Amino acid sequence: MSDTALLIIDVQTGVVDGEMRAARLDAVLDSLNLAIAKARGSDMPVIFIQHEEDDLPRGSGAWQLHPQLARQDGDAVVHKRYGDSFCDTDLARLLSARGIAKLWIGGAATDFCVDSTLRNAVSRGYQVTVIADGHTTLSAFALSGEQVIDHFNAIWQASSATPLPLRVLPAAEL
């Protein structure tokens, strides 16, 4: 079993394909599915993170993971109520039980849940690789979703003050 796990955060129908469609969604889904295939080929666990809140209730159609994701029955699913996937969830225990030291991270939303999770993972001592073409967000705050994605990739790439290197790679280079 690998010491690396793939985390796919909040790629849920209502999050990425609801009233507004997330930036580069089709390409992001393709990249995530490529990462899933690479993870499975390396005997890495694939863990899906699923957000819920009052306007995204558990069990609703909007809450469901996106149907184009290449999920399998044995994949772990972690449910959360906060942006950070470690906050008040069993994610840390799940990773520890599997001997995971490294994470590949992708999903939604770049500027909220993905960023919060990867920063907490880095602080917890995980070696993190962000899938550069495997995360997305909505346009907001006068920025397009594409601008937000590009901005965060640049910020993460430039982050050198981390205990272990924070890598940003396209799915094809994982």
The contacts of residue 66 (CB under 8 Å, 6+ apart) are 11, 12, 13, 16, 17, 29
Structure tokens at 162: 């981390």
In a structure prediction context, what are the per-residue pLDDT tens digits for the chain, which is 174 residues long? 799 999 999 999 999 999 999 999 999 999 999 999 999 999 999 999 999 999 999 999 999 999 999 999 999 999 999 999 999 999 999 999 999 999 999 999 999 999 999 999 999 999 999 999 999 999 988 999 999 999 999 999 999 989 999 999 999 999
Q: Could you say which architecture CATH assigns to the domain 4-173?
A: 3-Layer(aba) Sandwich (3.40)
Q: What confidence score (pLDDT) does residue 123 get?
A: 96
Length of the chain (residues): 174
Residue 102 tokens, joined:
């490294």
The values of phi and psi at residue 44, to 5°, are -95, 140
Distance, in Å, from the CA atom of 137 to the CA atom of 125, rounded to the nearest integer, reads 26
Write down the pLDDT at residue 80.
98
